[in-house]
Structure 1
Amino acid sequence: MVQLETIDGIAWVTFSRPEKQNALSFEMFRQLDNIIHTLKRDRQLRAVVIQGQGAHFCAGLDVGAVMKKPRNIFSLLGKWLPGNANLVQRVALGWRALPVPVFALVRGNCLGGGLHIALGADYRIVSPDAQFAIMEARWGLCPDMSTSIILPGIVRHDQALWLASNPQRIDAHQACELGLVTQISDDPLDTIKQRLAQLAHISPDALAAIKHLYNCAYHPPRRKLLWQETWYQIKLLLSKNTRIAMHNGRQTEQAKSYRPRGKW
């Protein structure tokens, strides 16, 4: 469901569930985590391109598939120490730890977990038909895939807060205005190949050092935020208002009223 092919030092990571708009199953999280570990050990690697098979990049979490086995939720969110990254955080944040440039090639839907993974890339080259949304708020949840670490280095505080709070889709041009995407291209694959050709003339050690320096400059210390993301998500999963939000997210009519806000 996630394919890895390395050609001439370029790793092509492909979501291959086109019949589901490449929605993320539990197994895909595991595969992505393993792929990131594999690529981190590859000293010959020069760059990574993440893409989706078919018309869409990734439509987010396949909620139905994951919820068939409730223990998968614990596997996704569980961690040995509070400040460690759990599985859902690693598959987004892990691309930042790779000492090579990482590109996300985005066509069509890039929603929820798909957007979190794309934000973990260094560059997002997108087609004009691309659509973006952070979806957790629709279900009464908060973003928990390390976006609290990544977004502050990409967009302004107010825009990050609005994107996380409002699950409505935005198009490629709106995303570009916000700074969510690097470039809109009628042929994103060709654009990425041109950028790869330019970077091929740069020392891989220089690229690794530059990436590490600017990751440190643009992103705050992460352990506290990683713990808060997971703790807030667990707290929300136990909230009665979350069950109401999930009901309202599935129903377009007969929406239930929320209870008074809990203590935060």
Structure 2
Amino acid sequence: MVTLEIKNNIAWVTLNRPEKQNALHLAMFHELDKIIKTLRKNTQIRAVIVSGAGEHFCSGLDVKSIVKKPLAIFQLLFKWLPGNPNLVQRVTLAWKTLPVPVIAVINGHCFGAGLHIAIGADYRIATADAKLAIMESKWGLCPDMGTGVLLPALIPQDKLWLLTSQGTPINADTAKEYGLISDVHTDTKHAVQSLLDTLLTRSPDALAAIKRVNNRAYSANRRQVLWQETWCQIRLLLNKNTRVAMHNALAEQAKPYADRSKW
């Protein structure tokens, strides 16, 4: 469901489940994790392009497929140490460990887990009709895919609050205004090629060094943030108000929330 093709030393990673708007199930997380590890070992590649097959980049997590497998949530969230990245955090943050430029090409829906993965890229180029949203709040959850480490370097705190608390899709122009994407183009293929034409004239070692320095310059206290993401998500998964939120996200008639727990 995730394909890797290397052409002329450019790696093309494609979320390939267009009939489901490239919604992510457990196997796709494992496939992405494996592909990133494979690319990290390849010293010949010069850039990575991440895209979605069909009309959409990714509609987010395939909630129904995850719910059907009780152990799936455990596999997604498990980590050996609190500050280590788990599977869902790796498929976002691990793009930053690749010593080459990573470009996400966003079209159509880019929601939830899909947007988190795109945020892990170094450049985000979107079509004018793209819609972007961080969706966890709709389900009574909090973002937990590692973007708590990355987003503060991209957007102001008030915009971060709006995106993470409301879960409302924004258009590509608004996303660019926020700093969430790099540019908007009607012809993303041309835009990507133009970017590659410049990047490929630079020393691959210089680009690797620049990326390492830039990542360090913008890094927060990563281990603490990753632990807070996972710990809060576990608490929410066990919280009665989360069950109410999930019901309200699907039902026509909303149930009232209970009083807030002590945080």
TM-score range relative to shorter protein? over 0.9
Shift of 1:186: 0.5
Letter in 2 for 1:188: T
Partner in structure 2 of residue 255 of structure 1: 254
Runs of 4+ in structure 1 displaced over 4 angstroms?
Answer: none
Aligned length: 263
1:118-146 CA distance string (max 9 Å, x none): 00000001100100000000000000000
Q: Aligned partners of 2:133 and 2:187: how far apart in 1?
A: 22
Matches within 5 A, 1:232-251: 232-251=232-251
Match of 1:171 in 2: 171
Conservation of the 8 A alpha-carbon contact between 1:109 and 1:130:
yes
**Distance (whole Å) between structure 1 residues aligned to residue 67 and residue 105 of structure 2:** 29
Residue 22 of structure 2 is matched in structure 1 by 22
CA apart distance, 1:66: 1.2
Determine the structure 1 residue equivalent to 2:46. Answer: 46
Give yes or no for the alignment of 1:182 onto 2:194. no
SS in 2 for 1:205: helix
The residue type equivalent to 2:255 in the other structure is K
3-state SS, counterpart of residue 3 of structure 1 = strand
Structure 2 unaligned residues grouped into runs of 5+: none
1:9 and 1:45 in contact (8 A); partners too: yes
CA contact (8 A) 1:152 1:219 kept: no
Which secondary structure state, in structure 2, belongs to the residue aligned with residue 105 of structure 1?
strand
Per the alignment, residue 207 of structure 1 pairs with 207
Q: CA deviation at 1:221?
A: 2.3
The aligned counterpart of 1:223 is: 223
Give the distance between the partners of 1:26 and 1:190, measured in 2 at CA: 33
SS at match of 1:61: coil
1: CA distance, partners of 2:22 / 2:253? 31
How far off is 1:162 after superposition? 1.4
Q: CA shift at 1:90, angstroms? A: 0.2
| Deviation per residue, 1:42-87 (Å, 9 max, x gap) | 0111000000000000000000011111101000000011110000
Report the Cα distance in structure 1 between the residues aligned to 2:221 and 2:97, rounded to whole angstroms.
14
Alignment of 1:1-264 (within 5 A): 1-251=1-251, 253-264=252-263
Q: CA deviation at 1:158?
A: 1.2
Query: What secondary structure, in the 3-state scheme, does the structure 1 residue paired with 2:125 have?
Result: strand
Structure 1 Cα separation of the partners of residues 129 and 68 of structure 2:
32
SS of the residue corresponding to residue 206 of structure 1 reads helix
> TM-score under structure 1 normalisation?
0.99
CA–CA separation in structure 1 for the residues paired with 2:51 and 2:214:
24
79-88 vs 215-224, greater mean Cα deviation: 215-224
- Structure 1, unaligned stretches of length 5 or more? none
Deviates more, 1:211-220 or 1:47-56: 211-220
Q: Which amino acid aligns with 1:216?
A: R
Secondary structure in structure 2 of the residue aligned to 1:104 = strand
Aligned to 1:202, the other structure's residue is in SS state coil
- SS class of match (2:3): strand
Cα deviation per residue 1:135-179 (whole Å; 9 max; x = unaligned)? 000000000000110100100011111111011110011111101
Q: Secondary structure at the match of 2:247?
A: helix
The CA RMSD over aligned residues, in Å, is: 0.6
Distance in 2 separating the partners of 1:227 and 1:137: 19
What TM-score, normalized by structure 2, do the two folds share?
0.99
> How far apart, CA to CA, are the structure 2 residues paired with 1:101 and 1:175?
21
Distance 2:10 2:211 in 1: 17
Query: Separation in 1 of the partners of 2:147 and 2:11?
Result: 24
